[in-house]
Chains A and B, each alone.
Chain A
Amino acid sequence: MHDHARPTPDTPFPAARTSDLSRLAAAETARIEAAAGAPVKLSRRLFMGAAGLTLAVALAPRASRAQDAAGAAPGASLSAFLDIRPDGTVELRSPFVEGGQGIHTAMAQLVAEELDLDIAAMEVVTAPAGTDYQILGGMRMTGGSSSVRGGHMTMRRLGAAARSMLIDAAAEKLGVPAGELTTRPGEVAHEASGRALPYGELAGAASLGEVPADVTLKQDGFRYIGARVPRMDLRDKSTGKARYGIDSTVPDMLHAAVRHAPRRGMAPEAPANQAEVEAMRGVHSVHLLPDAVAVCAERWYLARRAVEALEISWTEGEAERPMPADFSSAAFRQALDAADGESAEAEAKGDALGALAGAGTVIEATYTAPMLVHGQLEPPSAIASFDADGGLELNMPNQAPEMFQAAAAAMTGLAPEKITVVSPGLGGFFGRHFPYADSNPWPQAVTLARATGRPVKVLWTREEEFLRDAMRPVGHAKFRAALDADGMPVALAADLVGEGPTGRWWGAPPGKDGSAVEGVTGKPYAIPNVRVGQRFVANPAAIGYWRSVGHSMHDYFYESFLDELALAGGKDPMALRRALLADNPRLIALLDAVETLSGGWRPGPYEMEGTTRARGLAMASPFGSEVATIAEVSLDAGQVRAHRIWVAIDPGSAVNPSTIEAQVRGAVALGLSQTLLEEVVYEGGEPLARNFDMYQILSRDMMPAVEVAIVESGAPMGGIGEPGLPGVGGAVANAAATLTGVRARATPLINVDFTSQG
C-alpha cells in the first residue's frame, strides 16, 4: 500500500516534475497566445480595444468529427467538451473541479460568450479523466490559481468553433451562404429572410461537419466576459441540494470507517476483541491495514461505532516515511534554525553577500511559520468499485483526476484507461485533494473493495483526517539586509530552511523548488543586491500544497522584514515601498488603489470606536497577479483583532468581478485565520490537535470587513483563487508592530505577547 501514489517517470505529466505547478498555467497561456499569432502580452484591453483587429486562433489540427475522437490535441476535441442537446441546452464538461471558486461558472461564461448562448442554457459538469482535458501544457489540475488564466483561450476557441459549425449547418439547411448568417443567443438567424433555426435543431447536422482549423474570437461587445455573472450553483448550495463526495453512493456499497496509527509508521496488532466487534450490529468485516484498522458495515455510523470499539495495540511497522517517535514541532523548529548546510541559490542579482560584508548597517531577523492542516469542512472520502471486467471506478474529491488515475494504475497494476475517476463537487479544498500517497483515503478503499468483493466507501472522521492530512510545511527564513547612509536597503540575503511540497512530490531540487522560496523570491523591489537560497532540511511529516503554497508564509516573512528595514532606516512603510517601486508604474498604481480604497495611508496609532488602532501594509506577487493589502488592527484582551482589511488586486484582466471579490474575501479570511490562530503542534511524533476544538480556525466574530478593489492593468491574466491570501500576514503583523512596538516574527500571533513593550 505504500508505493501507489508517487508518480513514476511514465506518468503523463512530466512537465510538472521540475517546475512549480503554478507556473505551468502561465506558460500554457503564453503558448496558446503564441500559437494564435497574438502578442504574448495578450490582454483583454487588446481584444476589447481597437476595432478591426482580428484574433484568429488555431483550433488544433484540422479534423473531421470522426478523427476528432481519436487523438486530438488536449482542448481541441469539441465532442469531449460540449454537448448541444436537441432542447437547446448545452452541457460543458469542465477540465476544472468546482469547489466554490466559481470555476464552472467562469468556464460557462467563456464558452457562452463565443457560442452566443444564454448562460442559463448551460450546464457544467466536471469532465472525467482523459487526455482531452489536460489543457494546462499537457497536464490537468484545479490548483495553482491556474484554471481561468490557463483555460480561458481553450474555452473561447471551443465556443467559437461550435458556433461556426452551427452556422455551417444552418447554411446547408437554409440553402444560403454562411456569410449571410448571424447568431442570436441560442439560434442561427438569416436576417434577409427573417428565418432562424435554434441550436438544438442544428446540433445533429453540425456534429457531422468539419471542426474549423481557425476561428475568430469576439473583440468587443462582451456579454459575459468581465460581467458579474452569478455563480450557477448558488441556489443548490443554499438549499442543501448540492452534492459532494460524502454524498456519493454506488449500488451495493459497504461503508468503511478507519482508525489510523497515532504515529505514521506504526502498524496495528490483531485486536483482542475482533470477534466481538465483528458481531456488532451492521458490521460486515474488520480489516488490518498497514497503518490503520478498518471496519466495513452497512452504514457508516455503524462502521465508526465498531472501529472505535476495537481494542488496538500499535507496534512499529513499515512506512515509506515513518514519523520519528521523538518528533516534536518545537524541536524541529530548533533544528531548522541550527541547520548549517549548503544554501542552494534560487534567485540572485548583484552581489548581496559582498555588499553585506562591507556594509555599515546590517539588519538580521529570523521568521518562522508552523505546519497547518487544510481544514476543509468536508472530510475526505473515496469510493472504490471494481466491475466484472476488472475495471475500477474511483469516486472521490480530487483536484487532478489524471494524477489519481495514474496513481491508482501504479497501485493496482491496471491500465489507466481501465480506471474511471469521478470528481464530485468539493466541500472546500485549498490544496487538500492532490495525490499525497497515504494522506488520501482512496488506497484504503481499493484495498477494502478487493478484500470484500464489494464497492467500498471510506470516510475519514475529522480526527483521522487531522492524523493524515498533508500539511503546509514549516517555514523558516533567515534574513540579512544592508542599509545605505540614507536608510535605503541596498542588499538583502535570505535563506529559506526546510522542504517544499514541490520538492517532496515532484522531485524539484533545492534552488529549483519554487514552493520552498516563493514570496521571498519574485519580489518586485529595486534592491540592487539580492540573494535568496534554500537550505534543504527534510520534514518528517506529510507535507502538501496549502492555499497560496509558499506565498502563504514567505510574503509575511519578507514584508514584515521590509517594515523592519523601514523602521531601522527611518522610513514610512508606504514611502519606502513607493521608493523601491518608483520604476514600476503597475505597482505604484496598485498602491494608489489600496490607499484610495482605505481612505488614505494612515499607519496610526489612532483612536476609533473606543479602541486604539494601527494599520499595516504588505504586497505580494503571487500566481501571476499583483496584490497590495492594508490591515487595521487593535488589541483586544492582549490579542490582535483585525477590524478592516483592504485589498487591491491586479489580475491583468477580469472574467467575473463578483467571483474575484468573493475569492479575495475568502482568501483574506484564511490568511487571517492562519496568521492569528492556526498551528499544528507535534509531540512524541503525534499531533496534539485532532479536531477543531484544539485547532481553532477563524470564526465569524473574528472576521474583519474586507473591501476589494480590482485593478485591470491589461497585463497577462493572473490567478485569483490564492492571491488574496499572501498579503494578509504581513499587513496584520506590520499593523500590530506599529500599534504595540512588538515585532511578531512567528505565527500564529495568538502565541505572541503584544503587551510586553506596548
Chain B
Amino acid sequence: MKLTVNGETRDLDIEPDTPLLWAIREELELQGTKYGCGIGMCGACTVMIDGVATRSCVTPVDGLESAEITTIEAIETDPVGARVVEAWVKHEVAQCGYCQSGQVMATVAMLRENPRATAEDAAYAISNLCRCGTYNAIDAALADLTSKA
C-alpha cells in the first residue's frame, strides 16, 4: 500500500492492520516517533494525520492511503512547528525527551487550531504523559508561544 509521510509517498509491503507507528518506525525508519504504551494512553507516538494529532500506535495504516502524515522529523518545515521547537529549546522543556516528540506534535496541532490556546485549554486538549514531569516547562513554552500569537 501507499503511505505519504512528510510529503513523500512510499509503497510499502505491509498488512492493512499494521499500526501506523510501526510502519513509520520500522518500514520508513523514522525513529523520532516513540512507542510508550501501545494503547493510546501516553501519546509518545503522536503524529499528525491531515493536521490532526493522532496516536499512531492504535491507528492501523488501513485507510490512510490518501492521508498526509506528518512526523516530528518534518516539524520544523511547518512555521508553527518551527516556533514550537524554538520555544521548547528556549524553555529547556525536555528532560529525558522520550515523550517530547509527541508533546511537540500535539502542541503544534493544537496551535494551528487555536493560536491563543491557554495552559487550561492545553490541559484538556493534550493528554500526553511525561514521566519526567516537564509539564510546568511545557506550560511556560506554551505561554510564550501564545503571547505572540
Chain A residues in the interface with B (C-beta under 8 A): 99-102, 230-231, 233-244, 246-247, 281, 299-301, 375-379, 425-430, 459, 461-463, 658, 662, 665-670, 673, 691-693, 697-701, 703, 705-706
A667 to B136, CA, bound (A): 12
- Alpha-carbon separation in the docked complex, A698 to B95 (Å): 16
Q: Are A233 and B135 also in contact (CB < 8 A) when A240-B75, A692-B37 are?
A: no
Q: List A contacts of B97 (CB < 8 A).
A: 100, 233, 236-238, 242, 425, 427
B104-133: CB near A (< 8 Å → 1, else 0) gives 100000000000000000111011111111
**Which residues on the B side are within 8 Å of A428 (C-beta)?**
96, 98, 131-132
Residues of the B chain whose Cβ atoms lie less than 8 Å from the Cβ of A281: 15
Most A-side CB within 10 Å, residue of B35, B95, B126, B133: B133
A705 vs B96: C-alpha distance when bound (angstroms): 20
Given contacts A700-B122, A700-B126, contact A692 B42 (CB under 8 A): yes
Q: List 17 A-B contacts (CB under 8 A).
A: A231-B92, A234-B89, A234-B93, A238-B88, A238-B97, A239-B73, A240-B101, A244-B34, A378-B34, A378-B96, A425-B97, A428-B132, A463-B38, A667-B133, A691-B41, A692-B42, A692-B129
A246 nearest CB across to chain B (Å): 7
Contact A301:B132 (CB < 8 A) given known A246-B35, A426-B96, A700-B127: no
Asked if residues B42 and A665 are in contact (CB atoms below 8 Å), the reply is no
* Residues of chain A within 8 A of B100, CB atoms compared: 237-238
Closest residue of chain B to A240 (Cβ to Cβ) is: B32
- Which residues of chain B have C-beta atoms less than 8 A from A668's C-beta? 133
Measured CB to CB, the nearest residue on chain B to A459 is B35
C-alpha spacing A461/B95, complex, angstroms: 23
* Chain A residues, CB < 8 A from B71: 240
Shortest beta-carbon distance from A238 to chain B in Å: 4
In the complex, the answer to whether A301 meets B19 with C-beta atoms within 8 Å is yes
> Is B9 close to A, CB under 8 A?
no
Min distance, Cβ A251 to any Cβ of chain B, angstroms? 14
Q: Is the CB of B94 within 8 A of A238?
A: yes
CB of A664 to closest CB in B, whole Å: 10
B18's nearest neighbour on chain A, judged by CB, is A301
Q: Chain A residues with Cβ under 8 A from B27's Cβ?
A: 299
Minimum CB–CB distance for A466 against chain B, Å: 10
CB pair B34 A427 closer than 8 Å? yes
Q: Is the CB of B98 within 8 A of A378?
A: yes
Q: Which 9 residue pairs are nearest across A and B when measured between Cβ atoms?
A: A240-B32, A669-B133, A237-B97, A100-B95, A427-B98, A240-B72, A100-B96, A237-B94, A301-B22
Bound Cα distance from A462 to B32, whole angstroms: 19
Known A299-B26, A427-B96; 17 more pairs at CB < 8 Å = A100-B94, A238-B89, A239-B32, A240-B72, A301-B26, A376-B98, A377-B44, A377-B131, A378-B36, A665-B134, A669-B133, A691-B37, A693-B41, A697-B129, A699-B127, A700-B126, A705-B136
Produce 1/0 per residue, B68-103, CB < 8 A to A: 000111011000000001001100111111111100
Whether, in the assembled complex, B48 has its beta carbon less than 8 Å from a beta carbon of chain A, the answer is no
Q: Which of B73, B99, B124, B130 contacts A701 (CB 8 A)?
A: B124
Contacts of B134 in A (CB 8 A): 662, 665-666
A234 to B44, CA, bound (A): 17
In the docked arrangement, what's the CA distance between A310 and B123, Å? 40
In the bound complex, what is the Cα–Cα distance between A184 and B89 (angstroms)? Answer: 28
Instruction: Kindly provide the distance from the CB of A330 to the nearest chain B CB, expressed in whole angstroms.
Output: 26
Please name all residues of chain B whose beta carbon is closer than 8 Å to the beta carbon of A231 when the two chains form the complex.
Answer: 92, 94
Judge whether B3 is part of the interface by a CB distance below 8 angstroms: no
Residues of B within 8 A of A377 (CB): 34, 36, 42, 44, 96, 98-99, 129-131
- Chain B nearest Cβ from A131, distance in angstroms: 28
How many whole Å from A502's CB to the nearest CB in chain B? Answer: 24
Decide if B138 is an interface residue (CB 8 Å cutoff): yes
CA distance A244 to B100 in the complex (A): 13
Question: In the complex, what residues of A have CB within 8 A of residue B35's CB?
Answer: 246, 379, 459
Tell me, in angstroms, the Cα distance from A241 to B138 when the chains sit together: 19
Question: Is the pair A234, B129 in contact by a Cβ cutoff of 8 Å?
Answer: no
Cβ contacts under 8 Å, A102 to chain B: 95
Q: Which of A239, A243, A666 contacts B132 (CB 8 A)?
A: A666
Q: Which residue of B lies closest to A667 (CB)?
A: B133
User: Which residues on the A side are within 8 Å of B99 (C-beta)?
Assistant: 377
Nearest chain B CB to A225 CB, angstrom units: 18
Interface membership of chain B positions 54-69, coded 1 if the CB is closer than 8 angstroms to chain A and 0 otherwise = 0000000000000000
Cα distance, A233 to B94, chains bound together (Å): 8
Q: For the complex, is B52 an interface residue (Cβ under 8 Å from A)?
A: no
Distance from B104 Cβ to chain A, minimum over Cβ atoms (Å): 6
